[in-house]
Amino acid sequence: MRVLSGIQPTGRPHWGNFFGAIRQYIDLQEENDGYYFIADLHALTTVRDPELLRGYVLDAALDLLALGLDPAKATMFVQSEVPEVSELNWLLLSGAPMGLLERCHAYKEKKDKGIAANAGLFTYPVLMSADILAYDSEIVPVGEDQVQHIEVCRDLAGSFNHSFGETFVLPKAKTLDVGAKVPGTDGQKMSKSYDNTLPLFGEVKKIRKQIMRITTDSRPMEDAKEPEGDHLYDLYRLFADDESIAEMAAMYRRGGFGYGEVKKAVAEASETFFADARQKRTELENNLDYVHQTLRDGAEQARSVAGEVLSRAQKACGIR
Ligand code: TYM
């Protein structure tokens, strides 16, 4: 199966990115033809500092490789290095209904939070559709927040096919049961735009501090608590094995514990969980030539696929 997904380089990748999406990339690369990219064109709608953007792109590449993306099994590249996607974007934009984009949650949420909207942000799901369709992608592993965008992609592809004949493959979103919506330190969805993220890498001490600041309710310590729906418990569940999760749930139901204990357990479990990746990341930082070469090879491979799909779409709609 052709599998594709992307991550925006708008800051350091966080636990939500890993448990919702990156973990799937790594599992799926074994049996499938994977295309994974760093969406710098999307990031441009919010990051307006060239040095920062370049840094975030490199960080994302290092993180993906450190976490286990294997260039021998999957193609990894930077979105903007495949200009065919931007051409395809226009073909799709020209037929994208305004109403469809106005209904997109990600745009509405950002607008409601007072984040200044620009046309790039508004048409973001169309560029995302171009990303997906350019590689005849069948499966798109994502977190829950991106599912609606993949529905938009199916709509746009379906209506293009209807107008111009079978051109695009209709993709399907793939989400996980646990991890599709990882909560942030304030209990809302973890998101770089809400400033509530816990990063995958970075200074351990600093991350520990952030974990200790996770908001909790103020029920007395003696009270029994229901673990389901508690965001601290949900975070613990991401890292622990079944037995430890059951013990934690039992502790919640007995009561008589402090949230500080749970936070400490989250910190320890997360440090152990990412220890190998952290070491691999340090090795990669000392081997940047390899990272750049991987991205160059990836872009070349990606362009060869996207070029064919673009010319198929151009011919279909009368551009060539
Ligand atoms: P981005 O960079 O916001 O997030 C990357 C991936 O992480 C997932 N994710 C989460 N999953 C669970 N819980 C969370 N709290 C959480 N936060 C983020 C996202 O669902 C995503 O899968 N538009 C995309 C990038 C993109 C893309 C594409 C994805 C561009 N083109 C084509 C798929 C296909 C984005 O902003 O992801």
- Cα 138 to Cα 35: distance, rounded to the nearest angstrom: 11
Pull the structure tokens for residue 72.
Answer: 């021998």
Catalytic residue status for 110: yes
- Please, what is the average pLDDT of the chain? 95
Residue 178 has pLDDT above 90, yes or no: no
Catalytic residue status for 264: no
Residue 96 has pLDDT above 80, yes or no: yes
254 within 8 A of 221, measured Cβ to Cβ: no
Distance of CA 139 from the midpoint of ligand 1 (Å): 14
219 within 8 A of 59, measured Cβ to Cβ: no
Helix, strand, or coil (residue 92): helix
- Rounded mean pLDDT of 276-282? 97
Q: Domains in the chain, please, with CATH?
A: 2-181+288-317 (3.40.50.620), 201-282 (1.10.240.10)
Q: Residue 74: what pLDDT?
A: 98
24 labelled as ligand-binding? no
Residue 105 has pLDDT above 90, yes or no: no
Q: Whose CA is nearest to atom 37 of ligand 1?
A: 7
Encoded amino acid at 2, one letter: R
231 lines ligand 1 (CB under 6 A): no
Q: Dmax of the chain from CA atoms?
A: 72
Which of ligand 1's atoms lies nearest the C-alpha of 18? 7
Q: Which residue has the higher pLDDT, 65 or 116?
A: 65
180 lines ligand 1 (CB under 6 A): yes
Q: Residue 157: what pLDDT?
A: 98
Report which of 189, 201, 276, 173 is spatially closest to residue 234, judged by C-alpha positions: 189
14 lines ligand 1 (CB under 6 A): no
Distance of CA 34 from the midpoint of ligand 1 (Å): 16
Distance of CA 142 from the midpoint of ligand 1 (Å): 6
Model confidence over 207-244: pLDDT tens digits? 999 999 999 988 887 888 899 989 999 999 999 999 99
Band of pLDDT at residue 318, cut at 50, 70 and 90: very high
Helix, strand, or coil (residue 272): helix
- Rounded mean pLDDT of 53-57? 97
- Rounded mean pLDDT of 185-189? 95
Q: Residue 1: what pLDDT?
A: 97
Q: Residue 162: what pLDDT?
A: 98
- Cα 35 to Cα 24: distance, rounded to the nearest angstrom: 12
Catalytic residue status for 189: yes
9 within 8 A of 57, measured Cβ to Cβ: yes
Helix, strand, or coil (residue 74): strand
User: Which single residue is written with the structure tokens 């995958």?
Assistant: 200
Indicate whether this complex's ipTM tops 0.95. Answer: yes
Q: How many CB atoms lie within 10 A of CB 25?
A: 25
Q: Whose CA is nearest to atom 24 of ligand 1?
A: 7
Query: Alpha helices of the chain — where are they, by DSSP H?
Result: 15-17, 23-28, 40-43, 50-67, 83-93, 98-102, 105-112, 119-122, 124-133, 147-164, 204-212, 231-239, 242-254, 259-285, 288-317
Residue 155 has pLDDT above 80, yes or no: yes
Distance of CA 12 from the midpoint of ligand 1 (Å): 13
Phi, psi torsion values for 35, nearest 5 degrees = -125, 115
- Cα 277 to Cα 149: distance, rounded to the nearest angstrom: 30
Ordered DSSP codes for 206-233? HHHHHHHT-------TTS----TT-HHH
Does the CA dihedral 6-202-107-237 come out positive or negative? positive
